[in-house]
Amino acid sequence: MTDRTFFDRAGWLLRRLLLALLVALALSVVARQFVDGGGGASTASPTPPRAGQDHWHATYQVFVCGERQPPFAFWEGGVHTHDDGVIHIHPLIPSEEGEGARLVKWFEYGGGELTQSEMRMPGQRDRFANGDRCPDGAEGVLQVFVNGERLDDWSRYIPQDGDRVGIEFGPEQSD
């Protein structure tokens, strides 16, 4: 009877230790989501990509007056796209890391321009400026969204690995 009591106590202790381990693991996963940002918009304090070390991907979509635009054509460099709806960020030289990996620089590398009030898509001549009218007569406004959250100032925004970027010109939208 003594042996059975010992094993009963050992089993009880083992179950408690296993439960404590599972709780600790769950708490660490939840805490990591808060520390890493949990996939939310990466605009608060972005980590700049480093030349020869980082290889990031952020998806993007561009809409003009409600119409989705095709992915931009391929261009070379460490911050580029492959005509696949993805911003590829793997800086090859120091000028492409940090500030050189901003969304506005990515547009420039492809031959386009993105300011707070105007967009010229890479490979195109048409410009879309705040106040221009859409075909339906609605006033267009340039907006950028990251992971579903609207950015007020995208001039400093550096896409982070896994970000979802939406660039929209058309009637003003909320988050």
In a domain, 49, yes or no: no
pTM for this model (two decimals): 0.70
In a domain, 45, yes or no: no
In a domain, 50, yes or no: no
Q: Which amino acid makes up residue 32?
A: R
Q: Which amino acid makes up residue 165?
A: V
Q: How many domains does the chain have?
A: 2
Are both 27 and 74 inside the same structural domain?
no
Residue 21: predicted pLDDT: 59
In a domain, 15, yes or no: yes
In a domain, 14, yes or no: yes
Are both 108 and 137 inside the same structural domain?
yes
Distance CA 173, CA 168 (A): 9
List all residues 6 or more positions away from 76 whose beta carbon is below 8 Å from its beta carbon: none
In a domain, 43, yes or no: no
In a domain, 7, yes or no: yes
Strand partners, 133: 139
Are both 149 and 76 inside the same structural domain?
yes
pLDDT digits (tens), the chain, 175 positions: 555 666 566 676 667 766 665 555 555 443 443 333 333 444 444 678 777 677 889 999 999 999 999 998 988 888 888 989 999 988 888 888 888 888 999 999 899 999 999 999 998 889 999 999 999 999 999 999 999 999 999 999 999 999 999 999 999 886 5
Residue 8: predicted pLDDT: 65
Q: Which two tokens stand for residue 85?
A: 């709806």
- Backbone φ and ψ for 153, nearest 5 degrees, come out as -135, 105
Are both 123 and 65 inside the same structural domain?
yes
Quote the domain boundaries for residue 22.
1-36
In a domain, 47, yes or no: no
